[in-house]
Structure 1
Amino acid sequence: MHYLRLSVLCALAVIMRPLDSAATPFTPNWNDMHTKHRWNTIPGKWESIGQPPDGTTIDLRIALKPHREHALTDAIYEVSNPKHPKYGAYLSKEQVAKLVAPHPYTLNLVEAWLGHHGVPTSNVSTSHGGNWLTVTGMPVSKANGLLGASYQLYRYAGTNETILRTVGYALPAALHVHVQTVAPTTYFGSPLTLRKRLRGHRGRAAAALSARDDIVTPAILRSIYNSVTYQPAATEQNMIGVAGFLGEYVGDDDLEGFMRLYRSDANDATFLVIDINDSGYDPNKPGDEANLNMQYTQGIAWPTPHVFYSIGGVPGNFPPDSFTPASNDEPYLQWLDAMMRFEDVPQTITTSYGGEEQIFPPDYAKSLCELFKQLGARGVSILFASGDEGVGDGDCKKNDGSGVVQFQPVFPATCPWVTSVGGTMEYPEVAVPLSSGGFSNVFARPVYQADAVLGFFQQLGNQYSGLYNASSRGFPDVSAQAFGFVIILNDDVEIMEGTSCSTPVVAGLISLLNDYQLSKNRPVLGFLNPWLYGIASQGFNDITSGSNPGCNTDGFSAVPGWDPVTGLGTPDFQRLLDRLPIPIPVPTN
């Protein structure tokens, strides 16, 4: 087993241009501060452990609103709608940057604000066409004044995980229409892996396990989803990416052993490692989540080339004498920041991490979602696990102190610009109870799923009225098996469950569909959802049994058509092949 390693640090190999120094036409009242976001209480199980040491610095990232508010949305729908003449004409990194660029006045105004607070221009840079601004090495005391904040060290109860955060921050009134969000500020969470380990078995039992009828292997999945006979033909053009967080690494020997047992025709399954934000990648310390994702994307899509994004930024001990910038604990943002800068990215990316939507400040979640939209406009299919807690875990009380009970959707699965994957089990398939699904409390319902969601509401009636947002983005979009997955970890066998099992399976099948498109000189599928809810909707096995209980309820039920448990259903590869989009010929003069 061999792998290549490419180290990519967020501060390296990126040309950032300084802010323009043009003056603003008037001087706003920088002391007229209005709250941008504030929690009523310290979120979740975090607890304050006091002020950071004197001299501690922080790197701030500021998301600026684009000059043309709807330009990127219009563009992604054009290139992702199979009925549009521009379908498949995906944008370059530079074209996307132009669409999301802020107005020059916005940059000048923000520069004046930073200058008012004595921030050196040498510490300020922009990227992504000016859409994001980075301020490096800012003393925390100065950040408090800049943002009307009170940064403190917070520790997650019962652990040694500490982060530097503020429970609230503000901006001058003049900036609210120009700035989307500032990070790190009030986002206290870190990505959680959306999987559960059931039980362990010694490695020598693997062959015996394969004969059991309550476990899942690549051979079973390829049979259920009808992809056994397909042979990839465009492996020099196609690639699939796996995102890994929380110090999870892929074991080379484990992958080799897994493929030998469960995909014996795959004689050399390898992958490229891209290290983002100094993750400390170590293949000798494999994790079950990373192994699960890589083993099943390889098991479905081999010999399609794979890349593993090993992403640093796991909250950890904040040394009491450290003055190191504390910006490296925003893993999603660190990863997306790097992805935006790469010229070439995989056509399909699978991610099995997320958290309750309510732990994400709304403006922060929207800013991350906009970055996923940028990738989609460039022709990338991004898949996220829907979650493993049904409609919600525990008592499902809102975290605003109101005591109101509400179903708890999962982000980034609720972002309208990703494809969310729920879970099934058994055969014939039924919904697996853990499959998270429901409706966002942040994102409006996208046009591509309007009819499908309304069809579900006609069957639901008034059940659970008030427990969910009936006008918002519904999730998941699709589903696949999510129970009883065999993996190899440290040469032993583990059995896994969760939507992080189903997500790499769907990603592998999408990658095979992209392979077919490339072999026919057609564009890849890119942002999937307009196609999925359109001509591809009949290429799925409709799941009509099971539910996703949670929040002391029975949850939603799987019904004919789309539902917030299994989405459109599970994929039938051959039927989807027959429904692949063919670009409309554009007349030439």
Structure 2
Amino acid sequence: MHYFRLSVLCALTVTTTPLDSAATPFPPNWNDMHTKHRWNTIPGKWESIGQPPVGTTIDLRIALRPHREHALTDTIHEVSNPKHPKYGSYLSKEQVAKLVAPHPYTLGLVETWLRHHGISSFNVSTSHGGNWLTVTGVPVSTANELLGASYQLYRYAGTNETILRTVGYALPAALHVHVQTVAPTTYFGLPLTPRKRARGHRGRAAAALSTRDVPVTPALLRSLYNSVTYQPVAMQQNMIGVAGFHGEYAGDEDLEEFMRLFRSDAKDPNFLVIDINNSGYNPQYPGSEANLDMQYTQGMAWPTPHVFYSIGGLAEEFIPDSFQPVNGNEPFLGWLEAIIGLEDVPQTIVASYGGDEQTFPPEYAKSVCELFGQLGARGVSILFASGDGGVGYGECKKNDGSDVVEFQPIFPATCPWVTSVGGTTKRPEVAAPLSSGGFSNVFKRPDYQTDAVLGFFQQLGNQHSGLYNASSRGFPDVSAQALGFVIILNDDIEYMAGTSCSAPVVAGIISLLNDYQLSQNRPVLGFLNPWLYGIASQGFNDITSGSNPGCGTDGFSAVPGWDPVTGFGTPDFQRLLERLPIPIPAPTPTN
């Protein structure tokens, strides 16, 4: 068994660029401060324990607005829409960076503001095409002046954990149209320390399955989704990426045993490891989630090469809610910072993670979503599990202090630039009750899904009126089996359930379709949704029964066509193969 390892630190993907090179505008009144965000009281169970020690510094991240606001969105639609002449003309890393770059005036203005407060340009680095700045080693006293803030140390009740935050911050009036957000500032997220999984036997969980159920394996899935006869041929060009967070490491020995038992034709399965943010990757401590994702993408798409992103840390910004009072969200921003800095990125990337959308500050969620869009413009298909809470866990109360009950969508599954995967069960298939789905409270409905969503609303009527946002992005987009998955963990059999099972299965199918496209010298599928909501929608097995209860309701029901439980349904590889897009030939020049 062989695996290969490469270490990447986010800091290495950030290029230091002095801002003095940008045009410096005439300085405005830096004392004309207008509030950007402020809490009326200290959030939740936090308490102030006073000022930080003299000499304490803080690293600030500043998100700048792009010069051309709609350039990235327009480009994604062009290169991802099979009906557009530019379909498949994906951009390079450098071309995307130019699309999202802030105006030189913005850079010059921000540099002047920082310099006014004594911050050297050598303490400022840029990333994501220059629309994120990282300002390192800022004295807290300077940060207070810079942001009209009052940074203090806060402690969460009943713990010894402290964080440096402010209950409010402001920006000079001249910067409000140029700066999206500054972090860390007003979001109080208590770090949830990841626990390493002890190595050793964990017992067989056969009781998790009914005696009437057939355990799910790659053989069953490949037969169910009609991909048994396809043999990948473009292994030198195609690759799948699997994301792992929270100390979840994919085990190479477990993968070898899994493939021996359930994909016996596979020889020497392996994967590249990229360590991001000092994750501490150690295959001697495999995790069930990471093993599930790696074993089933390999089980579906072997021998397509795989890369495992082992990502350390927690979400950079967080808002607690009643179900999730402490920060257990994933550091999507840090992960994407590293990925976008790479020249070569896998054509398919899958992640079985996410959290209540309301626990991600809206500006943070939008910034992360835009980065997924950048990958889409480069020809990458991003798939996320839709979540396992139906329409919402627990009391489903809004975390804005109003205690209003509403369905709780899951981010990043709600991002319009990713493909969200829900869950099914049984044969013939029905919706799995755990399958999260619904409608975003942050992202507007994208044009590509208007007809499908309106078709669902015609069947829904007034049911659940007021519990969801009818004008926003609906999810999931597609689905796959989600219960009774057999995995190998520490040389033992375990059973898994959730859309964490569904997402890698669909990712494997998409990777096989990309393999075929490459074998025909066609562009890979890239951002999937315009194709899925178009000609590919008839390439899925429509799921018309079952629902996703939650929040004290029966949730939404699976119906003919698209629905916010199973999307368009489960994939049929051969039917999708027949519906693969062929780029429109360029017109022949005439004399």
Give TM-score, length-normalised by structure 1.
0.91
Q: Residue 273 of structure 1 corresponds to which residue in structure 2?
A: 273
Instruction: Note if contact 1:68-1:99 (Cα within 8 Å) is conserved in structure 2.
Output: yes
Q: CA deviation at 1:121?
A: 1.2
Q: Compute the displacement of 1:166 (Å).
A: 3.8
Note the 1:534-553 alignment, pairs <5 A: 534-553=534-553
Does 2:584 correspond to 1:579? no
Matched, 1:473 2:473: yes
Letter in 1 for 2:586: V
Structure 1 204/399 Cα, relative in aligned 2: closer, same or farther at 3 Å?
Answer: closer
Q: Distance in 2 between matches of 1:290 and 1:190?
A: 24
Question: Deviation of residue 23 (structure 1)?
Answer: 6.0
Instruction: Measure the CA separation in 2 of the matches of 1:350 and 1:502.
Output: 10
Q: Distance in 1 between matches of 2:286 and 2:201?
A: 17
Compute the displacement of 1:51 (Å). 5.1
Q: CA deviation at 1:57?
A: 2.6
Q: Could you tell me which residue of structure 2 aligns to residue 121 of structure 1?
A: 121
CA distance in 2, matches of 1:99, 1:264: 46
Verify: 1:409 aligned to 2:429, yes or no: no
Distance 2:353 2:452 in 1: 26
Residue 129 of structure 1: how far off its partner (Å):
3.0
Shift of 1:71: 0.8
Structure 1 segment 111-190 matched on structure 2, within 5 A: 111-153=111-153, 163-188=163-188
- CA positional deviation for 1:220: 1.1
Whether the 8 Å contact between 1:191 and 1:331 is mirrored in structure 2 is no
1:143 positional shift: 2.3
2:285 alignment partner AA: K
Gaps of 5+ in 2: 317-328
Deviations 1:32-80 (A, max 9, x none): 2223234455556766666554433322221111111111111110000
**For structure 1, which segment, 114-123 or 53-62, has the greater mean C-alpha deviation from structure 2 after superposition?**
53-62
Which residues in structure 2 correspond to 1:227-306 (within 5 Å)?
A: 227-306=227-306
SS in 1 for 2:28: coil
1:117 is displaced (CA, Å) by 1.6
* SS of equivalent residue, structure 2 residue 358: helix
Q: Residue in 2 aligned with 1:27? A: 27
* Matching residue of 2:82: 82
User: 1:318-376 deviations in whole A, cap 9, x for unaligned?
Assistant: xxxxxxxxxxx972111111111100000000011111111111111111111111000
Deviations 1:410-437 (A, max 9, x none): 1111110011111111111111111111
Distance in 1 between residues matched to 2:31 and 2:464, nearest whole Å? 45
Q: CA deviation at 1:385?
A: 1.0
SS state of the match for residue 354, structure 2?
A: strand
Change beyond 3 A, Cα 1:107–1:498: same
Please list, as runs of the form range in 1=range in 2, the aligned pairs for 1:41-56 lying within 5 A after superposition: 52-56=52-56
Provide, for residues 524-558 of structure 1, a one-character-per-residue CA deviation record: whole Å limited to 9, x for no partner. Answer: 00000000000000000111111111111111111
Counterpart mapping for 1:128-527 below 5 A? 128-153=128-153, 163-188=163-188, 213-314=213-314, 331-527=331-527
Deviates more, 1:360-369 or 1:78-87: 360-369
Counterparts of 1:350 and 1:190, CA distance in 2: 27
Alignment check: 8 A CA contact 1:61 1:133 kept: yes
Q: Which amino acid is the alignment partner of residue 527 of structure 1?
A: F
Instruction: Give, in whole Å, the separation in 2 of the partners of 1:413 and 1:92.
Output: 25
3-state DSSP of counterpart to 2:37: strand
Give the corresponding residue for 1:10.
Answer: 10
Structure 1: gaps of 5 or more residues: 317-328
Asked whether the 8 Å contact 1:203–1:491 carries over to 2, the reply is no
Q: Structure 1 CA distance, aligned partners of 2:350 and 2:364?
A: 21
Matched to 1:439, the amino acid is F
Q: CA deviation at 1:175?
A: 1.1
State the Cα deviation string for residues 439-488 of structure 1 (Å, max 9, x = none): 11111100000000000000111111111111010011111111111111
Range with greater deviation from structure 2 (48-57 or 11-20): 48-57
Percent identical across equivalent pairs?
84
d(CA) in 1 for partners of 2:518, 2:491: 36
Where does residue 91 of structure 2 map in the other structure? Answer: 91
CA contact under 8 A between 2:386 and 2:499: conserved in structure 1? yes
TM-score normalised by the chain length of structure 2: 0.91
Q: CA deviation at 1:15?
A: 3.5
Deviation of residue 122 (structure 1)?
0.8
| Pairwise CA distance, 1:270 | 0.3
What is the alpha-carbon distance in structure 2 between the residues aligned to residue 66 and residue 392 of structure 1? Answer: 34
CA distance in structure 1 between the aligned counterparts of 2:523 and 2:461, rounded to whole angstroms: 41
Structure 1 pair 55/486, CA: closer, same or farther in 2 (3 Å)?
farther
Distance 1:247 1:202, change over 3 A: closer
- Partner letter of residue 350 of structure 2? T
Over the aligned positions, Cα root-mean-square deviation in angstroms equals 2.7
Indicate the SS of the match to 2:375. Answer: helix
CA displacement 1:196-225 (0-9 Å, x = unmatched): x9xx9967899xx99983421111111111
Deviation at 1:160, TM superposition (A): 7.0
Cα distance change on mapping 1:50 and 1:559 into 2, 3 Å: farther
AA of the residue aligned to 1:298: Q
Question: What is the alpha-carbon distance in structure 2 between the residues aligned to residue 23 and residue 563 of structure 1?
Answer: 50
Once the two structures are TM-superposed, the CA of residue 26 in structure 1 deviates from its matched residue by: 3.0
CA distance in 2, matches of 1:35, 1:59: 21
Q: Is the 8 A contact 2:25 2:105 kept in 1?
A: no
Q: Distance in 2 between the 1:182 and 1:378 partners? A: 27
Quickly say closer, same or farther: Cα 1:53–1:291, change in 2 above 3 A: farther
Task: Judge conservation of contact 1:187–1:360 (CA < 8 Å) in 2.
Answer: no
Superposition deviation, residue 281 in structure 1: 0.9
1:18 shift after superposition: 1.6
What is the CA-CA distance between 1:144 and the residue it aligns to? 3.0
